[in-house]
């Protein structure tokens, strides 16, 4: 594994000649040239370096996971034990993911046309590369139909997060989005780390706070503590994602475990008593079978934390026990990840 992520170069022509993701890797007078250890001779000459996210130690514990107080899929409350683990302080950023792409040439799920055999019954002409992008509506709409504010945008992907013509260079320290489960797994393998389990993320999200609270900081929504939707969803007040670390860390030192972007876990999405086996990763495990929607090729995984699109009237899921399913092939403009060891 090559363990550097970004160097900023003061010579655009050199950067342009060497980068393998032109034009995403440079802009203006300077440029961001994404490199690995083979380019260490550049450091200190006209470059600076940014590395993989710092890992924080989380001591193992037994805690009450889940709740019956909000959405039914969050229950039942039960005692769960997590062993000692280490978790990245913040979600993987655009700049960090760009380094991975520069080193490996990896193309994300959103950048590749879906395989017809994975989507039986779908017209192959409709299977084009792209991803779901949130688009604010012009005014109030019924909140039971997410198609009012989500649109499939051909060409949308991690380096074009708002669709064709957009770019990540103006937001290098924002969480990378439009990431499928396979994309997160590929980055984890490159980084020598793993995706966290649902229990690990829920435990870390509390940050040592009492479980009697609704949020880690108390019982009242606080827009200064996490990036959630401020205004009238889905038409007024949309701000998008924020730089990692823009909001206060929790009691364990983690940023954005509540709000900003949803985060993948390795845990299969099941409900009720079936949740006991949800971390069994075997190809033929009951959890995989139970988490695969009828007629689908891909299983669902639990995602955690809520996002900048969560609002009390629509998605009150910016709480540690909150969860929702995401099929492994999914990618959206509010879905990212962080890694663990």
Question: Which residues, in sequence order, are CB contacts of 303 under 8 Å at separation 6+?
Answer: 262, 263, 264, 265, 323, 324, 325, 326, 335
Q: Is the distance from CB of 249 to CB of 308 less than 8 angstroms?
A: no
Note whether residue 256 is domain-resident: yes
Q: Is residue 188 part of a domain?
A: yes
**Predicted local distance difference test score (pLDDT) of residue 311:** 92
**Model confidence, pTM:** 0.84
Q: How does 151-184 read in b/e, with b if 16+ C-beta sit within 10 Å? A: eebeebbbbbbebeebebbebbebbbbbbbbebb
Give the Cα-Cα-Cα angle 233, 320, 336 (nearest 5 degrees).
65
* Distance, CA of 193 to chain centre: 15
- Asked, for residue 85, whether it belongs to a domain, the answer is yes
Neighbours of 268 (CB within 10 A): 27
Say if 34 falls within a structural domain: no
**What SS3 class is residue 201?**
helix
Helix (H, G, I), strand (E, B), or coil: what is residue 190? Answer: helix
Residue 128 lies in a domain: yes
Provide the residue range defining the domain that includes 128.
58-92+109-156+175-336
Residue entry with tokens 């260079």: 169
Helix (H) or strand (E) holding 185: helix 181-191
Rounded CA separation 145/6 (Å):
40
pLDDT of residue 215: 97
Residues in the chain: 341
Structure tokens belonging to residue 316: 């009150």
pLDDT at residue 237 in the model: 87
* pLDDT score, position 277: 63
What domain count does the chain have? 1
Measuring CA to CA, how many Å separate 324 from each of 242, 245, 249?
22, 24, 23
In a domain? residue 137:
yes
* CATH code of the domain covering residue 189: 3.90.1580.10
Mean pLDDT for back-to-back runs of 10 residues, the chain (341 residues) = 38 36 35 43 42 94 96 94 97 95 95 94 93 96 94 97 95 97 97 97 97 96 95 92 97 98 96 67 62 78 97 94 96 98 97
pLDDT of the residue at 35: 44
- The answer to whether residue 169 sits within a structural domain is no
User: Is position 162 within any domain?
Assistant: no
């Amino acid at each position: 594994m090559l363990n550097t992520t970004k160097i900023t170069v003061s010579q655009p022509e050199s950067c342009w000649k060497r980068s393998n993701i032109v034009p995403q890797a440079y802009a203006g007078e300077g440029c961001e040239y994404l490199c690995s250890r083979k380019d260490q001779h550049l450091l200190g000459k006209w470059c600076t370096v940014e590395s993989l996210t710092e890992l924080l130690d989380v001591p193992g514990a037994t805690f009450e996971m889940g709740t019956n107080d909000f959405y039914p899929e969050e229950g039942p409350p039960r005692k769960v034990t997590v062993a000692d683990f280490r978790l990245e302080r913040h979600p993987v950023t655009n700049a960090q993911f760009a380094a991975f792409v520069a080193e490996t040439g990896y193309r994300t799920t959103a950048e590749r046309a879906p395989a017809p055999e994975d989507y039986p019954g779908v017209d192959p002409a409709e299977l084009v590369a792209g991803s779901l992008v949130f688009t604010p509506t012009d005014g109030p709409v019924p909140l039971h139909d997410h198609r009012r504010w989500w649109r499939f945008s051909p060409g949308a992907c991690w380096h074009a997060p708002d669709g064709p013509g957009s770019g990540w260079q103006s937001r290098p320290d924002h969480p990378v989005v439009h990431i499928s489960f396979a994309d997160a797994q590929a980055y984890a393998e490159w980084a020598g780390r793993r995706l966290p389990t649902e229990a690990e993320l829920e435990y870390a999200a509390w940050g040592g706070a009492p479980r009697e609270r609704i949020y880690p900081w108390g019982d009242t929504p606080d827009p200064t503590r996490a990036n959630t939707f401020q205004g009238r969803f889905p038409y007024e007040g949309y701000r998008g994602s924020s730089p990692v670390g823009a909001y206060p860390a929790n009691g364990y030192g983690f940023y954005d475990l509540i709000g900003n972007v949803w985060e993948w876990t390795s845990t299969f999405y099941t409900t009720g008593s079936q949740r006991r086996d949800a971390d069994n990763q075997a190809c033929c495990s009951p959890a995989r079978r139970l988490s695969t929607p009828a007629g689908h090729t891909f299983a669902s995984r639990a995602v955690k934390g809520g996002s900048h699109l969560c609002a009390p009237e629509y998605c009150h899921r910016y709480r540690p026990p909150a969860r929702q399913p995401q099929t492994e092939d999914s990618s959206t403009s509010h879905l990212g990840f962080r890694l663990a060891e």
